[in-house]
Every structure is written in structure tokens, then in C-alpha cells.
Amino acid sequence: MKCLNGWSNKSFTMLLELLKEALLESETLPSNYYAAKKLLRDLGLHYIKIDACPSDCMLSSKEHANANECVVCGVSKWKSSDDNSIDEFTKSVKKKKIPAKVLRYFPLKPRLQRLYMSSKTASHMKWHVDGRMEGEMMRHPVDSLAWKNFDNVHPSFALEPRNVRLGLASDGFNPFGNMSISYSMWSVVLIPYNLPPWMCMKQTFFMLSLLIPGPTAPGNDIDIYLQPLIDELNDLWEVGVETYDASTKQNFCMRAAILWTINDFPTYANLSGWSTKGKFACPICNKDCSSYRLQNGRKWCYMGHRQFLPIDHRFRRDKKSFDGNEEHRATPKHLSGEDVLHQLDGI
């Protein structure tokens, strides 16, 4: 409720104090926001702070965890001495170093394991196998071609219905709620699609994975901030993690995989590495994108939509209603994941 309604820490503490007065003397309710936060931390819902380069070049993790400067651009990761606060009593400058940028990473494994701690939720996590309805209608992502193709390519993963299939959503937001202030913080959210359609898109099951600091958007450097998440996803894919299933009262090795991403068109460019601007803006058409630059408007206009029609469609021969030309080109080839990786090889 605190997060959903934007309560301040002080107002949350006041609510706890009011509830403590209304309860019996033997109550064990936390007395303030700090105590409540400490209690949640013991449940395993903690997050990790990772210092980042002010220019988004690198994270201070792994072998660079103790580095004071960016190994790429040489900029100090600490705020300048002008930002040091002054002690009220001694009037001396506090020498505590404060990082200029801090990435907040919320570990994925304990959050996925938590889904199987409740017997009801654990049963729902197998809905995509036990509860789905067969048919041609698409009622859930399990009915999509992407899901079915993934099962065909990775049969060992599909063999265990409790393995988690995730979607990744990312976008920027203004944390202050004041659009007059130019500040962009980015969030990365994971969505478990094992759940039935009336549950998987509920906010309760959205898992915040990363909070990327501002004041500017990471842009193409978002891959730097995705590193801890990618490392954990690789481990969940290759090794997995032992998890207790409350519905069967047994342990199993849980694996996880990202099936797709959810984002707007500009963010698509940041995540995929394919520019969504200019001559080849369409990531589907790729190098076969049909575009034309307006001489006076100096902007790119995207034509050639008739090539997606059947080869015998009458619109392909209609010159008058379109650009004065007949369309005889075939539909652009749909690139596979291997084709995309080949294009990105060496970047």
C-alpha cells in the first residue's frame, strides 16, 4: 500500500504507531518504517546496490568491485568534494564518499522460488500445461507461435512444466511525478507467464529486477546495467536452482528463460541493437526495409507495404491508388535468432 499510494516514510511510521496503540500490549508490530523494512529484508526480498560509472561505461562489480575510477573513461565514480555535507556540530566537512550513480538490483532467484512457497500459487504455475484449453484461439501466450517454437527447440526445458517462462519489460519514468523536472529513471520488470491469464498480468506478480538511476536515460548503454540480470538468467538457464514446491512437498531444479521483451519502439532499439531511425528503421524488414527520404521535409517515409500482401493480390497491380508503380517484390525474409546473432557478431 505504501508503494501503490505513494506514502512517505513518515506517514507510514505514523500508521504503524496508530496500529500499535489499537492492538494489545503483546503485539509484535514494527514500530517504524526502518523496523518494517528490516523485517522484509529477513524474508529474502533484499536488493543489491552496485556503483556505476557516471557516464554509463561500466559497473563496479566482479573484478572491478573496488575500483575508484572507471576503467573505460577514467572518471571517478564518486561525487565531487563539493557535494560533501557539513557536520552541524563540528562544522567540519564529512569525508564519506558517495557514489555518483547506484544501480539497484533485485535478485531473481529468491523471487522465483517464492512463487512455489504457496501451494495455491505453485499449482497455478503449472496452468500452462494442466489448465490450458486446446484450440486455434489465442487466449494466453502459451498459444503463441513463439512459445510453441521454443518448446520444439528446447524439449528438455519444456519437459518440466515448473520451469519459468519470463517476459522482460523496460521503460523510463519520472520518479518525482513532476514533468517540469527533467529526470529519467528506468525500471526493468519481469513477468512470469506460467500463470493463467487472469493472474500473470496482475501487478502482484510483476517482479522489479533493476532500477537504473538517472538523471538521463541509459540509451544504448542499457546493456551495461543489464549485466547482473543476464548473469543470473544464464545461471538459471544452464544450471537452475533447487526449489521447494509446496503443492507436491518436494524439491525440484527450477530453470528459467526469457521468451520476449515488451517495450516501445525507441527502447526496442536500445535492447536489440538495431536502430529504429533512419533508412533501415524497421527491425522486421531489416536490410530490405523500403524507405524514401522526402526532399523538402527531410524525413524518411516508409513505403512498400504491398509486398506483405499475397503475390496475387489486386493491390499489387494497382498503380493509381499507390505510388504509381506495381509491386512485384516478395515479402522480406523473417530473420531467425541465429541470423540476428550473426549480424551482431563482433560488435
Question: What span, in angstroms and rounded, lies between the C-alpha atoms of 185 and 214?
Answer: 5
* Number of structural domains in the chain: 3
* Farthest CA pair distance, the chain: 85
Flag whether 208 is in a domain. yes
Give the pLDDT score at 106.
93
Summarised one tens digit per residue, pLDDT across range 36-63 is 888 877 776 788 999 999 998 999 888 8
Interval 19-37: pLDDT, tens: 888 888 788 888 888 888 8
pLDDT of residue 87: 54
pLDDT score recorded for residue 86: 57
Task: Cell numbers for 113, please give them.
Answer: 522460488
Domain of 37, in residue numbers: 1-42
User: What is the per-residue DSSP string for 228-282?
Assistant: HHHHHHHHHHHT-EEEEETTTTEEEEE-EEEEEEE--HHHHHHHHS---SSTT--
Whole-model pTM? 0.81
User: Do the beta carbons of residue 325 and residue 319 sit within 8 Å?
Assistant: yes
Low-confidence ranges of the chain (pLDDT < 50): none
Q: Which of 241, 272, 303 is the last residue of a domain?
A: 272
210 lies in the same domain as 183: yes
Report cis status (omega within 30 of 0) of the bond before 215.
yes
pLDDT at 341: 82
In a domain, 235, yes or no: yes
Which cell is 282 given? 524497421
| pLDDT reported for residue 36 | 85
β-strand 207-212 against 185-192: which pairing, if any?
antiparallel
pLDDT confidence of residue 82:
57
In a domain, 49, yes or no: no
Report yes or no: 184 and 217 within 8 Å, Cβ to Cβ.
yes
Please give the pLDDT value at position 250.
Answer: 93
